[in-house]
């Protein structure tokens, strides 16, 4: 397991794959009022073509890690929240959190990536 931003290893009861930790490190960098796609997060984590892995890490990751990162700032490449019955309402919560950060949705529920997309810097 890699070290956290503070130089300490996160203390967890389960083993977290290094690839997931790399994804979480990228998500921590997304600034308030910006979003990134799952594919972009994966690419910046050194995992090209692993958008689904990024989604899996955020959805199935340990709550003690995921709750400490701005998971809501990751959307699909079309600028949409990935809705699923399996998310148990977290898709609605995601939209609420993004709107609180000033991110606007079109009437069709799309975030304009040209305006709100993070440049990765």
Query: Could you tell me if residue 77 is inside a domain?
Result: yes
Query: Between vectors from CA 10 to CA 101 and to CA 76, what angle results, nearest 5°?
Result: 40
Q: What pLDDT sits at residue 10?
A: 53
Residues 5-9, mean pLDDT to the nearest whole number: 49
Read off the pTM. Answer: 0.84
Residue 91 to residue 13: CA distance in whole angstroms: 27
Query: Could you tell me if residue 8 is inside a domain?
Result: no
What is the rounded radius of gyration, in angstroms, for the C-alpha atoms of the chain? 14
Q: What pLDDT sits at residue 5?
A: 47
CATH assignment at residue 77: 1.10.10.10
Domain count, the chain: 1
Query: Could you tell me if residue 43 is inside a domain?
Result: yes
| Full residue range of the structural domain in which residue 58 is found | 18-116
């Amino acid at each position: 397991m890699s070290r956290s931003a503070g130089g300490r290893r996160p203390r967890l009861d389960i083993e977290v794959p290094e690839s997931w930790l790399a994804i979480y490190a990228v998500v921590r960098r997304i600034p308030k009022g910006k979003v990134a796609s799952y594919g972009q997060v994966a690419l910046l984590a050194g995992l090209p073509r692993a958008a689904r892995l990024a989604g899996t890490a955020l959805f199935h990751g340990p709550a003690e890690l995921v709750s400490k990162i701005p998971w809501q700032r990751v959307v699909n490449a079309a600028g949409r929240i990935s809705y699923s019955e399996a998310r148990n309402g977290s898709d609605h919560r995601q939209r609420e959190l993004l709107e609180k950060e000033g991110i606007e949705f079109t009437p069709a529920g799309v975030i304009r990536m040209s305006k709100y997309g993070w440049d990765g810097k």
